[in-house]
Structure 1
Amino acid sequence: MDSLWLTNPTQAYRDWQAREAAGADRRPFSARSIVQHQAMFEHFRRHLVARGATIASFGTADVDAFWQSPDGRTYSQATRTRYVKLLDRLCRHLVFTGVRLDNPAAPLLSAERWPDQEPTPLFLTAAEDARLQAYLLSPPDDVAGLRSRAIVAAFLGTGITAGEARAARLADLWPDATPPYLVVRAHGPRDTRTVHLASFAVPILRAWSARRATLPIDGDLLFTLTPDGRPITDMSLGRIVATALAEIGFSGAEPSPRTLRNTFCRRQFLAGHSCDEVSQMLGLVSNRTCDRIAATLMPEATRCETLQAPHAEASE
């Protein structure tokens, strides 16, 4: 029996992913997929700890309870399917190595399937977008509150991803430039890009940039929750966004950074930007995301080519 799965399952999973884990075609997972899988595993592991279960002992009841957790209730069909496939791969490995005697995820595979079509992307309505922008214009004086609203402003006013927010450095933000902008450094297939700040985001990001420069925090990350300068976690970012959205009465199924990114994307289309321009702002390597957002503006359109005509300059 591999005892590391019992004493340090997080490390055991990371080692297994690096050495052996592969998809159905036996090809190793990409670096991005490995990071996503590790985050998903850690989320499920913490759920088990809260229930008094372990990687070696959990059963279908624990998985059912996971779907009923606050986060689990927001999962799309595709996300649930990804979790079931991950747990099935994991349990088959644990049975093979003698850590488990059974695979409780196996019967769940028949109940979960990939959706026939991608779900409509979630975004704030124009009224909700306006309320959240107004909410950001009155930041609190305390450091935690100021930081939280600056994080929300970064998502809503630049369209960056959670990973890009975690990696942003203090030197990447230029709120006093003309126009103000954020440098998003190259990562994975995405090249370095410059994103102009929406006007409503400038005051709060300027205030946070000035405050952050005075704080006794190690390193130079723009957003961090700890004095030692460790990157902020996806879970913390999600909670910060969810709290802000709750303040403006948002009741959508996914109060997350992705919803704010989709809102930013949609706002650019409404301002007259073309699909190529919006894709560049978002750092996208394909038009897939923009296609889906564009379809929410023009239901009869299925691709961004319909938005490639000359356009008026955006107000931001």
Structure 2
Amino acid sequence: MNVLWRSNPTLAYRDWQTREAAGADKRPFSARSIVQHQAMFEHFRQHLVARGTTVVAFGADDIEAFWRTADARTYTQTTRVRYVKLLDRLCRHLVFAGVRKDNPAASLLKSVRWPDDEPEPQYLDKGLDRRLQAHLQPPAEGLADLRSRAIVALFLATGVTAAEARAARVVDLHPDAQPPYFRVPAHGPRGARTVHLAGFAVSLLSDWLARRQTLPIDGDLLFSLLPDGRPITDMSFGRIVAATLTAVGATNVEMSPRTLRNTFCRRQLLAGRTHDDVSQMLGLTSNRTCVRIAATIDKG
């Protein structure tokens, strides 16, 4: 295994995560957490490759350089904490296994902490919302661009979460219905719900659905990695959203699907819909999110 950390760190990390890694409570990570951790590790590993170093040799300066990358600059405090904990856990394991001699992430644990208060909700104001809607309209430049535009359009037009978009199936999207709608199956404590598609997204999502059904992709996920059909990770969703927001000049907000979900919520409230109605559209059992978003309208 020690040799594998040097020759194939991706495989070594996956094997360790699956067989041995555990959280602070000593309990194994959930399958979803394992997938997220592997994506985070791979993103950091690729950063190390670009800097000419490896997981067995990187130092504190490499971590500091990681925070300055385009992706990492958009991370919330919570995401930064998760990365520090992941790197600390990794380095402690490698030191114990005799692969590393030090843990450059240990000192960072003293300087990062989970947010004490809920952060101000991030959203696009009406001007940026309209600009993004308009940006999604021109013909896409190839398959990848069409998929990226469709992903952003789904977030912006329905307010679904990243997890809901990741699990969406082809049969859930109905852009040709009257009115067009997206069906979100029940999951966890959230019941099934139907969200009508905002008009700006209908043609784009219809184009993607038609193109998706002609592709030789395994499985029936609405959005997946091409061509093997694996689910898209939260990190990939984040990169797609960040690239699109950057293209329309929205660089002063958290570049994540959550910002688009909040924008959808705010748009419904501005249109005069009640907190109860909007919470139902978002799949929420309380009005807490709507109250927080409505406060941004009152403040404005």
Class of the TM-score when normalised by the shorter of the 2 chains = 0.7 to 0.9
> In structure 1, how many angstroms separate the alpha carbons of the residues matched to 2:50 and 2:288?
38
> In structure 2, how many angstroms separate the alpha carbons of the residues matched to 1:46 and 1:234?
17
SS at match of 2:182: strand
> In structure 1, how many angstroms separate the alpha carbons of the residues matched to 2:141 and 2:99?
51
Opposite residue 219 of structure 1, the aligned amino acid is G
1:20 aligns with 2:20: yes
8 Å contact from structure 2 (residues 40, 235) kept in 1:
no
The within-5 A match list for 1:1-316 is 2-140=2-140, 142-224=142-224, 226-284=226-284, 289-298=289-298
Alpha-carbon shift at residue 189 of structure 1 (Å): 4.6
Q: Which moved more, 1:78-87 or 1:248-257?
A: 248-257
> In structure 1, how many angstroms separate the alpha carbons of the residues matched to 2:233 and 2:115?
29
Alpha-carbon shift at residue 288 of structure 1 (Å): 5.5
Distance 1:30 1:219, change over 3 A: closer
CA RMSD of aligned residues (A): 2.7
Alpha-carbon shift at residue 81 of structure 1 (Å): 1.9
Distance 1:2 1:252, change over 3 A: same
CA deviations 1:284-315 (Å, max 9, x no partner) are 4666644543442345xxxxxxxxxxxxxxxx
Distance 1:143 1:10, change over 3 A: closer
Q: Which residue of 2 aligns with 1:310?
A: none
Opposite residue 212 of structure 2, the aligned amino acid is R
> In structure 2, how many angstroms separate the alpha carbons of the residues matched to 1:15 and 1:141?
38
Unaligned 5+ segments in structure 1 are 300-316
Distance 1:6 1:174, change over 3 A: same
CA deviations 1:113-146 (Å, max 9, x no partner) are 2333232122111111011112223333744433
Q: Which moved more, 1:25-34 or 1:170-179?
A: 25-34
> In structure 2, how many angstroms separate the alpha carbons of the residues matched to 1:228 and 1:15?
21
8 Å contact from structure 2 (residues 39, 235) kept in 1:
no
Opposite residue 152 of structure 2, the aligned amino acid is V
Unaligned 5+ segments in structure 2 are none
Q: Which moved more, 1:57-66 or 1:71-80?
A: 71-80
| Superposition TM-score, scaled by structure 1 size | 0.83
CA deviations 1:131-188 (Å, max 9, x no partner) are 1112223333744433332222111001123333233222211112122111223445
Distance 1:143 1:115, change over 3 A: closer
Q: Which moved more, 1:182-191 or 1:57-66?
A: 182-191
Percent sequence identity over matched residues? 70
8 Å contact from structure 1 (residues 139, 145) kept in 2:
no
> In structure 2, how many angstroms separate the alpha carbons of the residues matched to 1:285 and 1:49?
45
Distance 1:76 1:225, change over 3 A: closer
- The count of corresponding residues between Structure 1 and Structure 2 is 300
Q: Which has the higher contact order (CA 8 A, sep 6+)?
A: 2
Alpha-carbon shift at residue 276 of structure 1 (Å): 4.1
Distance 1:46 1:204, change over 3 A: same
